[in-house]
Amino acid sequence: MKILIFSDIHGDLRALDRIVAQPADLYIAAGDLATFGKGLERCGEALKPLGERLWVLPGNHETHDAARAMCKRFGFVDFHRQVRPLESSKSTTQWAGLGYSNITPFNTPGEYSEEEIAKALAAFDGIRPLYLVVHFPPLNTKLDEYAPGKHAGSPALREWVDRAQPVYLFCGHIHETAGLPDRLGATQCFNVGKQGYTIEI
């Protein structure tokens, strides 16, 4: 089974056309299809051919209500704060999704406090093997460095990953680190960016 995960489209319809044109069994949009909520409908139209093969997280630029309404209209799957199993010929894996971001300086519509992030992640405790898709990166990694020596990731997410050690973590949010990998203990991490990242299970 081939899964294509992407993030931070921000209304770039050409990028979405490239995503849709890539063959995969499942697609996961890890947030920020829109910019401050604008352009979400056009993105939905571009992604319409994927139907229920597309799982959607809200980023910090869209509300869960807006993302859920788009999913309902176009037949996508609302993946925010959900756990869904994926069965392949080799194994069954558990996939968890958490949208929004930690607090930013930009007052975007989809932001959680660190306490809210910790509470949301607690729902995924003990699930194995876990593949975690979030919009935002963990703190102090290669994935959250937006300028030399400056990090904007979530302390609560970092603490949870260090403790829970999911198999994979996929994120976006920090544009400057799109495409970069990192590792936290046994957890392989990727900032998928608008180009996307493909994994086979």
Give me the CATH number covering residue 144: 3.60.21.10
The count of structural domains within the chain is 1
In whole angstroms, give the CA distance from residue 162 to residue 86.
Answer: 24
* Residue of 134, 71, 92 whose CA lies nearest to 1: 92
Digit-coded pLDDT (tens) for 188-201: 999 999 999 999 99
**Cα separation, 184 vs 175, whole angstroms:** 20
Q: What is the pLDDT of residue 76?
A: 98
Q: What is the dihedral of CA 19, 21, 26, 31, to 10 degrees?
A: 20
pTM, rounded to two decimals: 0.97
Q: What is the pLDDT of residues 31-83, one digit of tens each?
A: 999 999 999 999 999 999 999 999 999 999 999 999 999 999 999 999 999 99
Domain ranges, residue 110: 2-200
